[in-house]
């Protein structure tokens, strides 16, 4: 605290004002200490990942290409399939392999939808689970 103790005889009253400078200094020091001690917020999530193991990468599966041309004829790896029974037999044989092949179906945009839907349904009935439709950019 401070007070005016001067020889001012005209005033007669004492001025009692609190000196707030030390209070502000202490508050600023506390604020700086608070800012320094808070942890830095990161925009990442820390995850505990399992250690790397020496496991061999999985075997690349065989790729079977099924093409359907504009005349709605079905081709299995470039060889024409005679009928639906032959296609079903090839799909069942492929599904029975230890590692199922990936089926890449590439229909022509002029092929009948009935044939494309039949090939997809036949692969599902045979138990093939890895199928991709290629060449979709021709439909855009």
Contact 129, 100 (CB under 8 A): yes
Residue of 73, 83, 75 whose CA lies nearest to 103: 75
Q: How far is CA 80 from CA 3, 15, 21, 83, in A?
A: 108, 110, 95, 9
> Residue 30's pLDDT is what?
94
Instruction: Using only the alpha carbons of the chain, give its radius of gyration.
Output: 41
- The tens-digit pLDDT sequence of the chain (140 residues) is 455 555 555 556 676 787 888 889 999 999 999 988 887 776 777 777 777 777 777 778 789 999 999 998 999 999 999 898 999 999 999 999 888 899 999 999 898 989 999 999 999 999 998 888 888 777 66
pTM of the predicted protein model: 0.56
The fold of the 63-139 domain, in CATH, is Nucleotidyltransferase; domain 5 (3.30.420)
Beta-carbon contacts of residue 3 (< 8 Å; ≥ 6 apart): 14, 15, 16, 17
């Amino acid at each position: 605290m401070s007070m005016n103790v001067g020889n001012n005889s005209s005033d007669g009253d004492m001025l009692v004002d609190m000196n707030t400078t030390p209070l502000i200094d202490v508050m600023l020091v506390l604020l700086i200490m608070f800012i320094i001690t808070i942890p830095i917020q990161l925009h990442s999530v820390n995850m505990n990942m399992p250690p790397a193991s020496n496991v061999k990468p999985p075997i690349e599966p065989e790729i079977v290409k099924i093409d359907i041309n504009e005349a709605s004829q079905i081709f299995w790896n470039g060889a024409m399939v005679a009928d639906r029974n032959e296609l079903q037999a090839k799909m069942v044989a492929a599904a029975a392999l230890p590692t199922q092949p990936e089926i890449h179906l590439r229909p022509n945009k002029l092929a009948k939808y009935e044939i494309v839907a039949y090939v997809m349904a036949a692969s599902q009935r045979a138990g093939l689970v890895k199928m991709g439709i290629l060449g979709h950019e021709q439909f855009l």
